[in-house]
């Protein structure tokens, strides 16, 4: 989707270790008006490089990654906003017990979505964010 002078797309980075799920999310988000996927990563170091390079509006983070962890990504985002910007961080994970949710909230996570049954809610959240720009 081409941006115009009066409109800027909501820029999103996907941090997901599953290539199949990452591709599915990318395809579904690319269909949403006003959303642009600017980066993807399957590990902590790669995620931090993408975040530093693109400084997105939203980052969707899985907690289990190929290398490192989503908690590591979230901790660095919180500790170094001058380096990574201040994207709206959301978690999309199968590991949703209350202790982990509380830890994510303490790390500045805006919303926690369970992969097992909340993909639609994640997409709606990002769509609302894009519409509110």
**Nearest CA-CA partner of 60 in 98, 32, 34, 21:** 21
pLDDT tens string, the chain, 133 residues long: the values are 444 434 689 999 999 999 999 999 999 999 999 999 999 999 999 999 999 999 999 999 999 999 999 999 999 999 999 999 999 999 999 988 899 999 999 999 999 999 999 999 999 999 999 998 7
43, part of any domain: yes
pTM for the structure as a whole:
0.92
Host domain of residue 109: 17-60+70-95+103-118
- Greatest alpha-carbon pair distance for the chain in Å reads 44
Q: Of all helices (H) and strands (E), which one includes residue 111?
A: strand 111-114
Q: What sign does the dihedral 106-14-111-98 (CA atoms) show?
A: negative
130, part of any domain: no
3-state secondary structure of 40: strand
110, part of any domain: yes
In this predicted structure, what is the pLDDT of residue 7?
66
80, part of any domain: yes
50, part of any domain: yes
81, part of any domain: yes
Q: Encode 81-107: b = buried (16+ Cβ within 10 Å), e = exposed.
A: eeebbebbbbbbbeebeeeebeebeeb
In this predicted structure, what is the pLDDT of residue 6?
45
Number of domains in the chain: 1
6, part of any domain: no
Query: CATH code at 25?
Result: 3.40.50.2300
The token pair that represents 79 in the structure block: 């500790």
78, part of any domain: yes
């Amino acid at each position: 989707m081409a941006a115009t002078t009066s409109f800027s797309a909501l820029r999103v980075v996907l941090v997901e270790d599953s290539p199949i799920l990452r591709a599915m999310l990318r395809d579904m988000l690319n269909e949403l008006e006003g959303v642009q996927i600017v980066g993807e990563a399957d590990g902590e170091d790669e995620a931090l490089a993408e975040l530093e390079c693109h400084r997105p509006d939203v980052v969707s983070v899985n907690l289990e990654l190929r290398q490192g962890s989503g908690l590591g990504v979230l901790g660095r985002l919180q500790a170094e906003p001058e380096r990574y910007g201040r994207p709206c961080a959301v978690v999309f994970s199968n590991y949703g017990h209350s202790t982990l949710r509380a830890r994510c909230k303490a790390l500045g996570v805006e919303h926690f979505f369970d992969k097992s049954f909340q993909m639609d809610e994640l997409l709606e959240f990002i769509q609302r964010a894009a519409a509110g720009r």
